[in-house]
Structure 1
Amino acid sequence: MSAVWKHFKVSEKDAKFAVCSHCPAELSRGGTSAKTYSTSSLIQHLKSRHPDQHAEYEKDAAAASAAKRKVLSPTPTPSVVDFLEKTKRFASDSAKAKGITKKIMEFIALDDQPFSIVEDVGFGRLIDFIEPRYTMPSRRYFSDVCLPEMYNVVSTQVHELLATDITALSFTTDIWSSDVSPTSMLSLTAQWIDKDFKLRKVVLHSQEFRGSHTAAVISNAFSKMFDTWHIDRSKVHAVVSDNARNVTKAMEESGLKGIRCTAHTIQLAVHDGLLSQRSIADVIAIGRKMIGHFKHSPLAYTHLQSVQEQFGMPPKRLQQDVSTRWNSTYYMLESLFAQKRVLAAYLADHELPATFTAYHWVLIENVLSLLAPFEQITKEISSSDSSVADVIPLLAALKRLLNKEAETDHGVKTTKSALLEAVSTRFSQVESEPLYCIATVLDPRYKDNYFDVGKKQRTREMIQAELEPLGDVDGQGTHSAGEAGNNTDRKRARTTDEPHTSSLSDMFEEILQENIPNVLQRTSSTAQQLDCYLSDVPIPRSNNPLEYWRNNQSRFPDLAQMARRYLSAPSTSTDSERLFSAASHIIDEKRNRLSCEKAEKLLFIKKNLPLFLKK
């Protein structure tokens, strides 16, 4: 509709005429029907009689005309030059091409992709669809040029991170051999607590390890790795490894404080106290035969699935164990026990190479109950934020639990005693080891509540020995009757042992209830810090100890710095083991000819690059 009708309306008497909205004039529309009507006379009337309204009309008409042109032609027609520019391939050194190449290299490293993926048809079509102007480099370019470049960038960032304010570094190490290639690798991961009391971790090495794995060779490899990263030996707090004799000896020859992996030690204790028992070994052997039957017979597994569906259970495979991981044996027995009814129904129509008797099922149930706290401990110490401070309290709770009678002890009392003895023997040195003792006291969740009176005093002396350079400390702290009297309201009632306690968490609470915070005479600033800290009630186990120190470092500055050192040590070598789990994905059947040098670079990027990526 013309913009002129803003100022006119059709006559109600005769549609051939229009009435002006600004004066009484009635004007002919210049035709006899709707097809022949025009607005010329209306526009002329506005121009001669109403100039202001005519100017408004012209403005509205111009705007309507522009809008119409925009609808008919939304984009300008590109020139030939513009068209050719958009179809032109990127130069290999252009910023856009380099950016895409970098992202593809990140994709290869972070997602364990083979270099050959850049030659795959599907991947090539995807990239061509996203950006047709990009020319894909060869796989050799990615492996020989892009990989070293990215490794150098990340390596520089790790060097800069290690050059920050670090009071102590703790390490984990392990040796791994590939199943698909003649490759062995030695790992070294580092972790520390920064000035903001945040736990930081980096992977330093997963290098090829040729020849004999003697202590001398391992020690020499450690020296080279420390030199590569310019690590001051005085800042090396501890190195956590498995219980292999050659690694332990290498720590001694290198002058490093070696810690045995708690998870490995628990593995040995469980094997000594339980898995070596004849009756239990027989049950495990039967379980392996049963699972092996379903694993190697798709038809048998199909029948098992049918029975599971009849019982309204989701189809689930039975879990095979690994002899070197006791908890995998626990999960195997757990999966079998969960399918007890299903297996009984399966046996009604099908055969198995071996079966459990009623006695075996009772034994499995009791063994699972006996091993449950071990499985809980293994999970806790294998978490990414676990430290050596967790070891003594966990062992104290475990020993107390094993000393208690339970309804599920039937048939496993001897095994339970053997487990307790194995745990006590395997961890006999832990409670006298300064590294563990000091770390436990400096963890605000535990403090000295897990020590007897003699060990409390010895641990206090250990801490004082480190605090002495920071101030004058009276090594013989004495009780102040007045202060002790003021803290009687903090005493918690002693509880009697319950004969059927089965929770590991209950053991922690019992131990804390039996210990009253000691308030000692304050004799100097550093001693005062220790006294005040120990007199505070421990924080809940679910709380983060590093957050506590971040919030209380102004109250206990010297202890806070000690905490940065002692709480940096992990309790297991899990980080190195997880590193080699990633290595098994990199050196696999599709990439079994990948050199160790390139595999190490890929692992290094995969583990460290996420630390520096912008989110």
Structure 2
Amino acid sequence: MSSRSCDLVDDIYLISADNPHSISNFFSNNEQNHSNSISVAASCDSNSASTRTRNDSNSPASARGDSSFTTTRALNDSNSSSSDHYTAEQLKNYLFKKNPNYRLLKNDSTKSLSAWWRAFGFIFNLNENKEFEQIPGFISCLKCFQTFRYGFKSGTKHFVEHANKCFPLATKIADVAGTNELKCSQWKLEQVGVQRKMQLTPKDQHQLKELCAKWVCCDMRPFTIVEDDGLQRLANMFIKIGSQYGLVDAKNVIPSRHTVGRAVHEIADQIRDKIKEELIEPLRAKAVTIAPDFWQSKYSQQSYLGLNITYVDINNKFKSIDLFCRPFNGIKSYDLILDFLNIHLAEFGISLTDVNIITDRGANFLKAFAKYDLICCFGHRLNNVLKVCFFYQQTKKKKKNNQASSKDNTCSTAKSTPPTNSARVEKDELSSSSDSSLSDDEENQRENYVTEQSSLVILRRRKKSSTTQSAQKMVVEDIPPEAKQVLLVLKQAKKLVKYVKLTGMNQEIKDNGGVTLLQATAVRWLSLSNLLESLIKSFKIVRKLLFDKEKQSLITDLNLQCLKQLCLILKPFKQIMISVQTGNSPSLYLVSMFYITLKDILQSFDTVKEYINEHIEDIDGHDSLFNIDKDDDLEHELPGIKWFRERLLTLVNEMIVLDVRQVAATLLHPRYRSLKKVPDHVKDQCYKHVRQQVWQFREKAEAEQENQKNLSEPPQKKQKKEKNMLSRFESGNFSEETVDRTGSGDESDEYDYQIKKGDELDRYLLFEFDKSKKEAEPLEFWKNHSDKFPFLSQYARSILSIPATTTNVEREFSSAGFILNERRTSLQSNKLDEMLLIRSVEKQLH
């Protein structure tokens, strides 16, 4: 590569010697400090990315991560034949004159891209099939439409210069001492904390690139390590030290591993103290939710109980923290779970009576939290609906029985051998509490247990009928032939994907313009939908490769029309699961609306297509997978697909029982407070529940106020009152009489209190506000109107702190698995707990 100079913007900012100062920003209420830290990190990341040349994200092969663009790999100038039909000036004129046959789309790759990509996009033209196809070998400016040739040998210097011209960085601080040239003299202390634009010499630039390349290769680090925010902040700290002390040896600056380990422990302790202090007020308002779950390391076979908390602080800010992930030894029984949680939660001043609880439907968790108002994960329930629909449990049992019988035939002593825990280990690795592998009978027992024992108002009680029993207990042998054909297609698709993975064909598929085929795993949400989508996108390429390998038998029985229609049915489930998995904002209010949406969508095949056209299409006006309106395979619903769609609708009605708090969360979102499409009797139960909670908050506030009054004032001596036989004729307060006269119409049939007409809930339902403003967001709304609705806003804080799913704790386990990899099996368990805690706090801070 030719040596050349480039602009390097060094982001230098003060870092306190006691690093925990940055941690305190997470728990402080100073939003200015928080926004400044984010902007500094963002500018550092973007500026450093602009100086790196020809890294992985600059290469055409990885410039776009979107699998729908299958021609991205053919961007080399010398190898692209279609690019010879155009010149850069021609394409610029087409775009500038807004020719309808040409489009310019921004690079929407999910991979990390260099900063100069902010100014450029790819060019597409309308092909013979009336579909937009990428023109390889060119990129154009999104602002002025200046077009450049782009390939493996094009370089990036002119891209960086043009990006800085049309899309200058948002924040640039004036150069120190009015010059851009590098100075060898030491900086003054007042100069530290500003950005300084410098021009590296070709020699320094080349040396820097070589050091990074050798570091990545020799220490076996990923290429993306040079883009880590932590590395950027560490490098800025080194620059600050060099500016103050001159040329120093890095060995004298970088602490040892033991020192870093002790620092991790100290920082974790400081964070725990700050969390305990910050949780005092949210716990009093019951605006804290815990999500416990089990996880097991596949290398050490050690089980862990992890717990994530979500809470709404006193400023109505939603926060999520991975509180702990600690070893759990012994049987995962409900009593041991309770003892474990009580011990470790006490460290943070948390009692189970002061928090909301959300878990999956594991029998041990259900029994452990039976006396608490437990709420179950909506994502797990949807996943169970899909597994029951496609008979996953029955096929899994059948497979296990076949394996067991074969073992009995080959080894007569197998009966006397104690069963191993290998099956349990495999299950617990991703789904802890046996929710994913229980029988239908156990599912029904758990649901009935919750329904009968819970103190919550249940919106619907399932009626026992032959229809209900047959839907969930139906066996594969009883389904019609057209439905069996769909199951055979699914089985063959899984077999094909497994073969592709074992033989390493995925790379060949990608080289020919396809996408990687993804496997389906029962304990992972959305995996079946991802398998179908990847197979449909690469179907023609896979078929050609298999024919070349004389393995066409793997794909000849696959019905592409059946795959497309099945994928279409699963698309709404995929969109809903993705939507409810948000972890850093309220999501419980989505559950009731998505439940009603699913029931409406599954009514017919046309409603499914209509919903996808309106809500899941790409911004270009056509679905990236297939064109619903023009695809003949989607015109008429296959009989087998119709049977499974109707079965899905039945299972959604039977298996999903909404919690009243899920409807109350929707009610307390100002945008959806009218509860449209919710039945009237459900609204009435929700209103009663909310009024009861408001009344409890009011009673609690009055009791606290009375206690404060008694503590501040000495009790007055009671005087004996004279009995007056005419006292019943005396006049009272006018307001009390008005309440007595008008209160009969608002008396609660369920609770021993009266609801005044025009209470907080009524006034909230009639309140007018501008939906276009930011205050339409629920937490912002209740923060701005807490004076108008003092007790309703407190309950809103509590209910909106509950997430719709246990996704946060699942993500904690994903991070734990990344930390405890094959090379770090000897890491102490307390260090894992501390690292996850620090990471969750720092991730939100930066």
Write the deviation string for residues 326-350 of structure 1: whole angstroms up to 9, x where unpaired. Answer: 4111101100001122123224422
**Equivalent position of 2:502 in the other structure:** 296
Residue type of the alignment partner of 1:419: L
**Equivalent position of 2:317 in the other structure:** 198
Residue 264 of structure 1 and its aligned partner are, at CA, apart by 0.7
Residue 257 of structure 1 and its aligned partner are, at CA, apart by 2.2
Residue 273 of structure 1 and its aligned partner are, at CA, apart by 1.7
Residue 201 of structure 1 and its aligned partner are, at CA, apart by 1.7
Query: In 2, distance between residues paired with 1:112 and 1:599?
Result: 21
**Equivalent position of 2:596 in the other structure:** 396
Residue type of the alignment partner of 2:365: V
Say which SS state the counterpart of residue 350 (structure 2) adopts: coil
Contact 1:391–1:436, Cα closer than 8 Å, also in 2 = yes
**Equivalent position of 1:551 in the other structure:** 784
Contact 2:334–2:367, Cα closer than 8 Å, also in 1 = yes
Say which SS state the counterpart of residue 308 (structure 2) adopts: strand
Task: Mark the CA change 1:375 to 1:581 in structure 2 (over 3 Å): closer, same or farther.
Answer: same
| Aligned match for 2:665, one of 412, 415, 439 | 439
| Aligned match for 2:649, one of 410, 414, 420 | 420
Query: In 1, distance between residues paired with 2:299 and 2:351?
Result: 37
Higher mean displacement: 403-412 or 390-399: 403-412
Q: How does 1:242-321 map to 2 (within 5 A)?
A: 242-252=360-370, 255-274=371-390, 276=392, 278-298=484-504, 300-301=505-506, 303-306=508-511, 308=512, 313=513, 316-321=515-520
Indicate whether 1:564 and 2:797 are aligned: yes
Indicate whether 1:453 and 2:680 are aligned: yes
Q: How does 1:24-43 map to 2 (within 5 A)?
A: none
Structure number with bigger Rg: 1
Residue 395 of structure 1 and its aligned partner are, at CA, apart by 0.3
Structure 1: runs of 5 or more not aligned: 1-73, 77-107, 114-127, 479-520
Higher mean displacement: 559-568 or 540-549: 540-549
Task: Mark the CA change 1:541 to 1:453 in structure 2 (over 3 Å): closer, same or farther.
Answer: farther
Counting aligned pairs with the same residue, the percent is: 22
Contact 2:342–2:352, Cα closer than 8 Å, also in 1 = no
C-alpha RMSD of the superposition:
3.4
Residue type of the alignment partner of 2:501: K
Write the deviation string for residues 358-377 of structure 1: whole angstroms up to 9, x where unpaired. Answer: 77211111111101100011
Say which SS state the counterpart of residue 670 (structure 2) adopts: coil
Say which SS state the counterpart of residue 205 (structure 1) adopts: strand
Task: Mark the CA change 1:551 to 1:598 in structure 2 (over 3 Å): closer, same or farther.
Answer: same
Residue 268 of structure 1 and its aligned partner are, at CA, apart by 0.5
Contact 1:270–1:326, Cα closer than 8 Å, also in 2 = no
Indicate whether 1:601 and 2:601 are aligned: no
Residue type of the alignment partner of 1:442: L
Residue type of the alignment partner of 2:601: L
Task: Mark the CA change 1:303 to 1:577 in structure 2 (over 3 Å): closer, same or farther.
Answer: closer
Say which SS state the counterpart of residue 212 (structure 1) adopts: coil
Contact 2:493–2:558, Cα closer than 8 Å, also in 1 = no
| Aligned match for 1:336, one of 511, 514, 535 | 535
Residue 297 of structure 1 and its aligned partner are, at CA, apart by 2.2
Residue 437 of structure 1 and its aligned partner are, at CA, apart by 2.6
Task: Mark the CA change 1:159 to 1:468 in structure 2 (over 3 Å): closer, same or farther.
Answer: closer
Indicate whether 1:154 and 2:271 are aligned: yes
Residue 203 of structure 1 and its aligned partner are, at CA, apart by 2.0
Residue 590 of structure 1 and its aligned partner are, at CA, apart by 0.8
Query: In 2, distance between residues paired with 1:174 and 1:218?
Result: 10
Residue type of the alignment partner of 1:580: F
Q: How does 1:110-125 map to 2 (within 5 A)?
A: none
Residue 130 of structure 1 and its aligned partner are, at CA, apart by 6.6
Residue 303 of structure 1 and its aligned partner are, at CA, apart by 4.5
Write the deviation string for residues 35-66 of structure 1: whole angstroms up to 9, x where unpaired. Answer: xxxxxxxxxxxxxxxxxxxxxxxxxxxxxxxx
Residue type of the alignment partner of 1:304: I
Task: Mark the CA change 1:297 to 1:215 in structure 2 (over 3 Å): closer, same or farther.
Answer: same
Residue 414 of structure 1 and its aligned partner are, at CA, apart by 1.0
Task: Mark the CA change 1:350 to 1:565 in structure 2 (over 3 Å): closer, same or farther.
Answer: same
User: Structure 2 length as normaliser, TM-score?
Assistant: 0.48
Query: In 1, distance between residues paired with 2:815 and 2:775?
Result: 30
| Aligned match for 2:574, one of 375, 382, 385 | 375
Query: In 2, distance between residues paired with 1:301 and 1:129?
Result: 50
Query: In 2, distance between residues paired with 1:348 and 1:222?
Result: 57
Contact 2:489–2:557, Cα closer than 8 Å, also in 1 = no
Residue 380 of structure 1 and its aligned partner are, at CA, apart by 0.7
Structure 2: runs of 5 or more not aligned: 1-183, 187-224, 231-245, 393-482, 607-634, 700-738, 748-754
Query: In 1, distance between residues paired with 2:586 and 2:578?
Result: 10
Contact 2:295–2:304, Cα closer than 8 Å, also in 1 = yes
Residue type of the alignment partner of 1:435: R
Higher mean displacement: 161-170 or 466-475: 466-475
Task: Mark the CA change 1:418 to 1:75 in structure 2 (over 3 Å): closer, same or farther.
Answer: closer
Write the deviation string for residues 205-256 of structure 1: whole angstroms up to 9, x where unpaired. Answer: 11111111111111111211221111244431x211112111111111xx33
Say which SS state the counterpart of residue 445 (structure 1) adopts: helix
Write the deviation string for residues 439-497 of structure 1: whole angstroms up to 9, x where unpaired. Answer: 2211223222242111112211112222235398958559xxxxxxxxxxxxxxxxxxx
Say which SS state the counterpart of residue 352 (structure 1) adopts: coil
Say which SS state the counterpart of residue 591 (structure 1) adopts: coil
Residue 138 of structure 1 and its aligned partner are, at CA, apart by 4.1
Residue type of the alignment partner of 1:249: K
User: Structure 1 length as normaliser, TM-score?
Assistant: 0.65
Contact 2:489–2:558, Cα closer than 8 Å, also in 1 = no
Residue type of the alignment partner of 2:277: E
Residue 390 of structure 1 and its aligned partner are, at CA, apart by 1.3
**Equivalent position of 1:49 in the other structure:** none
Contact 1:186–1:207, Cα closer than 8 Å, also in 2 = yes
**Equivalent position of 1:225 in the other structure:** 344
**Equivalent position of 1:10 in the other structure:** none
Query: In 1, distance between residues paired with 2:260 and 2:667?
Result: 51
Query: In 2, distance between residues paired with 1:265 and 1:240?
Result: 13
Query: In 1, distance between residues paired with 2:308 and 2:499?
Result: 40
Residue type of the alignment partner of 1:596: S
Task: Mark the CA change 1:154 to 1:75 in structure 2 (over 3 Å): closer, same or farther.
Answer: closer
Residue type of the alignment partner of 2:366: T
Residue type of the alignment partner of 2:532: L
Residue type of the alignment partner of 2:671: R
Task: Mark the CA change 1:160 to 1:403 in structure 2 (over 3 Å): closer, same or farther.
Answer: same
**Equivalent position of 1:97 in the other structure:** none
Contact 1:435–1:566, Cα closer than 8 Å, also in 2 = yes
Write the deviation string for residues 48-86 of structure 1: whole angstroms up to 9, x where unpaired. Answer: xxxxxxxxxxxxxxxxxxxxxxxxxx989xxxxxxxxxx
Residue type of the alignment partner of 1:205: F
Residue type of the alignment partner of 2:667: V
**Equivalent position of 2:427 in the other structure:** none
Say which SS state the counterpart of residue 346 (structure 1) adopts: helix
Query: In 2, distance between residues paired with 1:179 and 1:408?
Result: 46
Task: Mark the CA change 1:475 to 1:592 in structure 2 (over 3 Å): closer, same or farther.
Answer: farther
Indicate whether 1:523 and 2:750 are aligned: no
Task: Mark the CA change 1:559 to 1:164 in structure 2 (over 3 Å): closer, same or farther.
Answer: closer
Query: In 2, distance between residues paired with 1:452 and 1:247?
Result: 31
Task: Mark the CA change 1:268 to 1:134 in structure 2 (over 3 Å): closer, same or farther.
Answer: same
Highest RCO, 1 vs 2 (Cα 8 Å, sep ≥ 6): 1
Residue 200 of structure 1 and its aligned partner are, at CA, apart by 1.5
